[in-house]
Structure 1
Amino acid sequence: MDFLKNIFKETSSNASENSKEDVKYFELNKMEQFDEMDEISTTKSVVIFKHSTRCSISRMALKQFDAAFNYPEEKIDWYLLDLLNHRDLSNEIAHRYNVTHQSPQILVIQNGKAVFNASHDSIAAEDLKQFT
């Protein structure tokens, strides 16, 4: 899992240009992406993984989630949020989707609304099957 070793070590401009062929996720790093994600969520599920790069529990949850995440791009888009660098985006998630902030945390967005969320050791990629 080379991308986990390098997670968030790229410059923001390079990371935001990653294609799905390079990595499984898109980096959530701009407020404007919320409207894009809400639009995407009308045709397929959008997963947001909120990750604290300083937290060992978050690191372990992300590693397990990544190992088990095998959903095709046609069914689910995965966005990864670095909480430490983008706390404002985490606050927007709590407000926009009416969820309590947790870390680590995943949310599933459909039709612009959070239809599922889990945190800490309750995060499991297999829970996403119901949203494909």
Structure 2
Amino acid sequence: MSQKQLHSTEELNEFVAGAGKRLLFKHSTICPISTSAYEEFQSYLQGNDVPAAVILVREDRPVSNEVAERFGIKHESPQIFLFENGEVKWHTSHWKITKDAIEEALKA
């Protein structure tokens, strides 16, 4: 499944409010660690049918900041969140973002 890019807090609100499990990835396009983590995220999405979205942290800074403020989770990049019915159920960052880690989080 492909992911949607979020450009506004309205799009963020709509994505987070969706039912069920959904993944949100905060990505810095100039960071090699983020690029590696994004590849792991993309690898997970291949063949998995979970709603997913990405925020490009440099291009859409207000949306990225809103995630940190609203959910009380310090901003990091790269960073991934698992939402279920509007709540953060799991999150991690940097080298801990792997296809296997995402799979485990979604099974829990």
- Could you tell me the TM-score, scaled by structure 2's length? 0.86
* 1:35 shift after superposition: 2.1
1:93 paired with 2:74, answer: no
User: Which of structures 1 and 2 has the larger relative contact order (alpha carbons within 8 angstroms, sep 6+)?
Assistant: 2
Moved over 4 A (4+): none
Count residues in correspondence. 105
Report the equivalent of 1:11.
none
* 1:30 shift after superposition: 1.3
Residues 12 and 63, structure 2, Cα contact 8 Å, conserved in 1: no
Match of 1:71 among 48, 60, 63: 48
Q: Percent identity?
A: 28
Report the equivalent of 2:7.
29
What RMSD over aligned residues (CA atoms) do the two structures have, in Å?
1.6
- Could you tell me the TM-score, scaled by structure 1's length? 0.72
Match of 2:17 among 39, 44, 63: 39
SS state of the match for residue 9, structure 2?
Answer: coil
1:128 paired with 2:105, answer: no
Aligned pairs for 1:49-68 within 5 A: 49-68=25-44
Between stretches 119-128 and 54-63, larger displacement belongs to 119-128
